[in-house]
Structure 1
């Protein structure tokens, strides 16, 4: 399924008045994981109250022990500090990387902003080396804009 085909599906989930916010987040994770072959784990992390850490809220894929990530640690923690997209073509080449699974080869993390504040992020792990393009970045920025509307 193309990113163009996925956009209205993401919007339909986000605007469904019958679902809770948590169910919407989970459905978006599941949709992306199922629809994009190289998205092997999809999750949303959010700032954990006033703490300088991220907390995993919803995900699709293998279970992870990394439900809390301190700011600055790993790719997700770095994005919490930098407020910038982070594309990692080869996780083995990253010094500050938290390994979730030995099968993960690459990762993309896109910050999620609400009212100009970085409140969380979408995190995608892939078992495919270097699959992420600028198209992935633009699509995931769109996903985060839709998610911000429901938070």
Structure 2
């Protein structure tokens, strides 16, 4: 399904105030994972208060042991420090990569900002080598912008 067709569905999920924040985040994970065939793990990480770490939020995909990630560690931890999107075409080529599954070949992480502050991120793993394009980045920036409105 095209990103343009998914955008109104993301907006509908976000605007559903009868659901909790976590239910809406979970629904977004499910929407993306089920409609984009190379999105094999979709989840959110959020800054843990004043601590220099991220905690795992709602996600869809294989269970992960990485429920807490220190700032600077792995791709997610690096995005928490850099405040920039990070696209990894081949995880084997990254020194500071935290392996979640042997099947993961690439990853994209896009930060979520609230009032200019990085409060979390969306993290997507793919079992396909180098599938992410600029279109993925722009779409995920859109998703993060919408998510920021409920945080």
TM-score under structure 2 length normalisation: 0.99
Deviation at 1:12, TM superposition (A): 0.1
Q: Secondary structure at the match of 1:44?
A: strand
RMSD of the TM alignment (CA)? 0.3
4+ residue stretches of structure 1 with deviation over 4 A?
none
Unaligned segments of structure 2, at least 5 residues: none
Structure-2 separation of matches of 1:22 and 1:103 = 27
In the alignment, the residues of structure 2 paired with residue 46 and residue 60 of structure 1 have an alpha-carbon distance, to the nearest angstrom, of: 16
SS in 2 for 1:150: coil
Match of 2:26 in 1: 26
Partner of 1:50: 50
1:67-91 superposed Cα distances (whole Å, 9 cap, x missing partner): 0000000000000000000000000
Partner of 2:120: 120
CA drift of 1:15 comes to 0.2
- Number of residue pairs the alignment of both structures matches: 151
- Rounded to whole Å, the distance in 2 between the matches of 1:114 and 1:20 is 18
Task: State the 1:18 CA deviation.
Answer: 1.1
Unaligned segments of structure 1, at least 5 residues: none
Aligned pairs (5 A) from 1:88-99: 88-99=88-99
CA distance in 2 between partners of 1:67 and 1:84 (Å): 21
For residues 51-70 of structure 1, the aligned pairs below 5 Å read: 51-70=51-70
| 1:17 Cα deviation from its structure 2 partner | 1.5
